[in-house]
Structure 1
Amino acid sequence: MKETYQVTSEQAGTRIDKLMSEIESDASRSQVQSWIKDGHLTVSGETVKNKYKVQEGDTIEWEIPEPEPLEIKAEDIPLDIVYEDEDVIVVNKPRGMVVHPSVGHPSGTLVNALLHHCDDLSGINGVERPGIVHRIDKDTSGLLMVAKNDKAHHSLGEQLSDKTIKREYEAIVHGEISHEYGTIDAPIGRDQKDRQSMAVVENGKPSVTHFKVLELFKDFTHVECVLETGRTHQIRVHMKYINHPLAGDPKYGPRKTLPIEGQALHAKTLGFIHPRTGEELRFEVAPPNDFVEMLDLLKKRS
């Protein structure tokens, strides 16, 4: 579907590829440049070059091309299935597993494992993301819901949009948080200095994270985070924003301050309304062993 945008006076003089990467916050500048090159983007009906500087009143029209389908193979990878019926699967994803295949991760993903486990996954998100309603990062462990048919996918997707899905996380963050509760209400979008990262930016999407201190240690805090919205890297970005980045986070925090691979973040609670029965379901799983070992280590240090 084609989308349009009219350039404001404040945006006049900005390169088209830079402006579009801000408008389409999930797109990198290189992706925008490929859209321009392949004719998927025009300005006031004309093709332009990447270095074109927009003018006030210019009408940008673009259509995001469909990604070329990958060949997704079923793989016999063990799954920790917390719940399953004819409509949904709830999986406890291990740290280190990517949710769906991409150019950099064509195999070994949760989707590869799901395709081996069952052949009745929803097709709404295409062949690359069958059944995937929401994601958690590669190095975040914990609960993920998967739809086995399109009706279930629609229902779960609407619950996400309506912010009625219950999602609670545990995290270990740097520093000692001085107050027991807090809410971070700060918009998140693509980091203008590093297009591979997200950041709190003025024109970002509304993003809200609530947190509660579970335990204080020397130089670290164990917290519970509740998502009101679900932006990319939301907890990681928000905790960095308040100067309490996640321990072990290779992108948003100091690296290797604790002996853990990847950020100390675990999706511990997931609650939703069953798409067929209307029953309220709630699941909770304990963090993985390495997370618990870090807590034990911090207790001994303190």
Structure 2
Amino acid sequence: MQTWRQRVRESVGGLRWLHGATRRSRRSERSEGNEREKTIRSVRTVPAALLLQRGPFPASFPLRSRPLCNPSFPAFRLNVRLRPGGIIEGFRKFSDRMKAGFSVLADYSQVVNHEANGREMKLSEFLHSVDPDRFPSLSSSRKTVRKGLVLVNGQLGKIHHFVMLGRDSVQITGRTESNFKPYGDPPFHIDVIYEDDFFACVYKPPGFCCHPPAGQTHQEAAKSMRVCVPHFVKTAPPGTESALWRPLLVHRLDKPTEGLMLVAKTKKAYTELQRQFALREVKKTYAAVVEGRVEDESGVIDLAIGGKESKTEYKVVLRTAAPNLRDGVVTTLHLHPLHGRTHQIRIHCADGLRVSIVGDKKYGRSYTGHGLCLAAIGLEVKHPETGELIKFSRPEPERFSAFRAMAEAGLRSMSWKEAASSCLTEVSATSDAQSCEDDEALSEDELLGDLNNLEQSS
């Protein structure tokens, strides 16, 4: 009787899956002075194309894949475990759906190029010579060939192939249509501020991470912007060149921070928007409520973070009296970070201005009932296709004004229920004094109801 290893060798043929099948690597991670050792065990992986061609496989075959890193990469691996019966058909349907969105983007059979005419050249050099706009460097042409997007005489092109203009047919393929459909219901609601065929602007609510960190369960990872965005932002329309398999986030915001975020639908829009962020061409505006008084009306915070240059412009918008807080005042700021360092605004407020953002548990004091008072309320970006300057803006969250009102009333480090109970006496006396003149005076139940609604909305 054959073992399952022998059956796999016969069914897959020359598949070299045993190479590194039981490799183990150890990584040592250091976090805040504590050393912990994490063991990462690689698992057996098999290309999906071979699964579609060969089979069947035994039920005990331990197959698991690695995640797809490049969204435009046509060759992919499937994150499943083999089960007897019907599984190969599922692979075939999924593969057909992936390949159905690809078409020919450029054909260099009839191109006239004096440098490449009559010369036999490497495939990457040929692409760079014939179409320098699409392939500005040899590195970009090699990446395209490695991704399996180049066809030579109808066959998949390789790096070592030599081609000649006029003798060989060279075609560039790419995704022009996506049939991606998100599964299940959206984990939370997202407001779409702007959307066209190339990118979109959405508003991230507080308390949700952009990308699920490692080590989370499936249910926890689902509550992220990466999973939720495809439920509200459509994919690029059919026929769009370099369309992504699904909409992708261009940048990130901290988990407790809310605000505007950009989402790309095409590969060109994704790279162009990221280029603008890298070159600091995007103007970002944040609103923050800090504990304490900022003396200057405006200025620039120049404080290196991690040994890298970091600058943030700020402007005082409002100062509100807060008897029980530091300096007896809270200040509302509008900030424009000139760099994009991790936690840049939070660090600059705490260490640069010596006033921490309200609700910042990491760099300042902790207050309950309102969260981190930091929001991205403005973005100025150039359209990735037309180059037109587009401005997105949103008013500051209502919870900011609610906190200022409670701070002005002398409430400190409180929850909504504590705020309601502390206000009952004053509101009750006011309602009794005005009951004969004003029939719309608030009752205790109405006040508690309003505060509970405000707590749920925040």
TM over 0.5: yes
How far 1:102 moved relative to its partner?
2.3
- 2:388 maps to which of 265, 271, 279: 279
How far 1:273 moved relative to its partner?
0.2
How far 1:298 moved relative to its partner?
3.9
Q: Does 1:255 align with 2:366?
A: yes
Q: Does 1:89 align with 2:205?
A: no
Alignment partner, residue 207 of structure 1: 310
**Superposition pairs for residues 37-116 of structure 1, below 5 Å?**
69=67, 75-76=185-186, 77-103=188-214, 104=216, 105-116=220-231
How far 1:300 moved relative to its partner?
4.9
How far 1:32 moved relative to its partner?
9.8
RMSD in angstroms over aligned alpha carbons?
A: 3.4
SS at match of 1:290: helix
> Aligned partners of 1:205, 1:152: CA distance in 2, in Å?
28
Kept in 1, the 8 Å contact 2:269–2:384? The answer is yes
How far 1:174 moved relative to its partner?
1.5
> Aligned partners of 2:36, 2:282: CA distance in 1, in Å?
33
- 1:233 maps to which of 340, 343, 348: 343
Return the TM-score normalized by structure 2: 0.45
Alignment partner, residue 174 of structure 1: 291
- 2:259 maps to which of 132, 142, 146: 142
Q: Does 1:294 align with 2:294?
A: no
How far 1:118 moved relative to its partner?
4.3
Kept in 2, the 8 Å contact 1:74–1:112? The answer is no
Q: Which amino acid aligns with 1:220?
A: V
> Aligned partners of 1:29, 1:133: CA distance in 2, in Å?
33
> Aligned partners of 2:247, 2:388: CA distance in 1, in Å?
24
Alignment partner, residue 422 of structure 2: none
Q: Deviations over 1:193-231 (max 9, x none)?
A: xxxxxxxxxxx2221111111112233211111010111
SS at match of 1:131: strand
Kept in 1, the 8 Å contact 2:192–2:232? The answer is no
> Aligned partners of 2:401, 2:302: CA distance in 1, in Å?
29
Kept in 2, the 8 Å contact 1:184–1:210? The answer is yes
Alignment partner, residue 265 of structure 1: 374
SS at match of 2:268: helix
SS at match of 2:259: strand
Kept in 2, the 8 Å contact 1:215–1:221? The answer is yes
SS at match of 1:171: strand
Kept in 2, the 8 Å contact 1:75–1:108? The answer is no
How far 1:146 moved relative to its partner?
1.0
> Aligned partners of 1:239, 1:68: CA distance in 2, in Å?
41
Give the count of matched residue pairs. Answer: 232
> Aligned partners of 1:276, 1:29: CA distance in 2, in Å?
47
How far 1:157 moved relative to its partner?
0.7
Alignment partner, residue 439 of structure 2: none
Kept in 2, the 8 Å contact 1:259–1:294? The answer is no
Kept in 2, the 8 Å contact 1:73–1:107? The answer is no
How far 1:131 moved relative to its partner?
1.2
Alignment partner, residue 24 of structure 1: none
Kept in 1, the 8 Å contact 2:375–2:396? The answer is yes
> Aligned partners of 2:36, 2:234: CA distance in 1, in Å?
35
How far 1:138 moved relative to its partner?
1.2
Stretches of structure 1 lacking an aligned partner (at least 5 in a row): 1-16, 22-26, 39-66, 190-203
Q: Which amino acid aligns with 2:224?
A: T
Indicate how the Cα distance of structure 1 residues 73 and 31 shifts in structure 2: closer, same or farther if over 3 A, else same.
farther
Indicate how the Cα distance of structure 1 residues 31 and 100 shifts in structure 2: closer, same or farther if over 3 A, else same.
farther
> Aligned partners of 1:274, 1:180: CA distance in 2, in Å?
33
How far 1:144 moved relative to its partner?
0.6
SS at match of 1:240: helix
Q: Deviations over 1:112-131 (max 9, x none)?
A: 1112234637xx9x99x961
Bigger Rg, structure 1 or 2: 2
Q: Deviations over 1:50-77 (max 9, x none)?
A: xxxxxxxxxxxxxxxxx95397966423
Alignment partner, residue 272 of structure 2: 155
Q: Which amino acid aligns with 1:94?
A: P
Indicate how the Cα distance of structure 1 residues 254 and 28 shifts in structure 2: closer, same or farther if over 3 A, else same.
closer
- 2:235 maps to which of 112, 116, 120: 120
Q: 214-223 or 173-182: which moved more?
A: 214-223
Aligned-residue sequence identity (percent) comes to 31
Kept in 2, the 8 Å contact 1:74–1:113? The answer is no
Indicate how the Cα distance of structure 1 residues 280 and 156 shifts in structure 2: closer, same or farther if over 3 A, else same.
same
